Amino acid sequence: MDIDFVIIWVDGSDKKWLQEKNKYQKNSINIDAEINRYRDWDNLKYWFRGVEKYAPWVNKIFFVTCGQCPDWLNTKHEKLVMVNHEDYIPSDYLPTFSSHPIELNLHRIKGLSEHFVYFNDDMFITGKSLPTDFFSSDGLPCDLFVEEPPTFVKKDVFNNIIINNLILVNSKFDRQEVLNKNKKKIYSTVNKKVYIKNKIFSLMKRHEFFGIEFSHLPQPFLKSMFDEVWSENYDVLDEVCKNKFRSIDDVNQYVVKYYQLLKGKFEPYNWKRKGIAFQLDDIYDNNIEEACKCIASDDYNLVCLNDSKIKNFDKTKGIINNIFEKKFSEKSKFEID
């Protein structure tokens, strides 16, 4: 099957873009528009180098921006498709400074394959990857269903969004029916810790989901599932996409992931065997050194570096990018000579 990659990116230092963002942000409330949502780590070229080296089998790469383009990017590469927000997002939702309209409308991208993997620009391929890391031989997304209780300890826009996702799927699915219908997949032993956790939670005979784990790693999607989610939840998604910034009332693309899991359209696979995500923190956890070790090693083929509690941004960016440069020192054909 053809498997495409989709990656979204924004140059948060673009003066014209900043002027437009500030204009809409001025009167907005209950939103998430912190600087770490937009600042550029200047390491996008290593994403392309990783794809070329470790996932040469990819069909097409759809590079989604608001019309911006890195000056080093070879836009004539045969596998690269440049996508402007205006090319696929309905005009009623534009301009947008929220990732949610960008993500929830991905299925509208012209020419996108039924099977695609969605990347944020902080998710890198750092080791040999195979098509079967993302999709099974019969075309199902490789994923894991994991029940877990919410662990939020503070009010936060993102926490609200995760709760909103659960409210939506609970309005469409009965937990007991889902668990009974998909026993073989939900109680698969591919990951023993997950098997034990799901078995324990199965003792709770409630009809609503109280928490579904999500992984901050590249996500395989079926394009048709986006159509289904929109068809069943148009009013909700329409309101979300009209928000210019992330809002406490939003749902996000994890709703589509949840639909795939709850409908049994996935193949149990141990993501944690090859992927690791970091909430980069140079204040409390100081996990920068561990993140660098994982990038440099061959232990993980997927590494996410989420911009979290970074006090000294320039220093941390330099440390991370130095490791990337050592690992991916050769230019890719996605770069201009």
User: What secondary structure does DSSP assign to 186-213, as a single string?
Assistant: HT-SSSHHHHHHHHHHTTS--SS---B-
Q: For residue 284, what pLDDT is reported? A: 76
Instruction: Specify the amino acid at residue 267.
Output: E
Q: CA dihedral defined by 222, 300, 144, 105, rounded to 10 degrees?
A: -30
Q: For residue 272, what pLDDT is reported? A: 57
Provide the residue ranges of all domains of the chain, joining segments of one domain with +.
Answer: 3-123+131-273
Reduced to 3 DSSP states, what percent helix, strand and coil does the chain have, rounded to the nearest 5?
40, 15, 45
Q: For residue 307, what pLDDT is reported? A: 86
At 89-98, the pLDDT tens digits run 999 999 999 9
Structure token digits, residue 158: 């993102």
CA–CA distance, 50 with 125 (Å, rounded to integer): 5
> Is the Cβ–Cβ distance between 309 and 316 less than 8 Å?
no
Taking 50 as the pLDDT cut, the residues of the chain under it are none
Sign of CA dihedral 234, 121, 261, 58: positive
Structure token digits, residue 127: 């080791």
At 263-278, the pLDDT tens digits run 999 999 876 558 999 9
CA–CA distance, 49 with 326 (Å, rounded to integer): 12
User: Per DSSP, what are the bridge partners of residue 254?
Assistant: none
Q: For residue 153, what pLDDT is reported? A: 63
At 216-232, the pLDDT tens digits run 899 999 999 999 999 99
Q: Please work out, in degrees rounded to the nearest 5, the angle formed at the alpha carbon of residue 28 by the alpha carbons of 22 and 30.
A: 130
The H helix count followed by the E strand count for the chain is: 13, 12
Structure token digits, residue 318: 């330099």
The H-or-E segment that residue 103 falls in is: helix 99-104
Buried b / exposed e along 289-318 (16+ C-beta atoms within 10 A): eebbebbeeeebbbbbbebeebeeeeebbe
Q: Where are the beta strands (DSSP E) in the chain?
A: 3-8, 31-32, 61-65, 80-84, 115-119, 123-125, 142-143, 219-222, 246-247, 267-268, 275-281, 302-309
Sign of CA dihedral 259, 261, 264, 266: positive
Q: For residue 234, what pLDDT is reported? A: 98
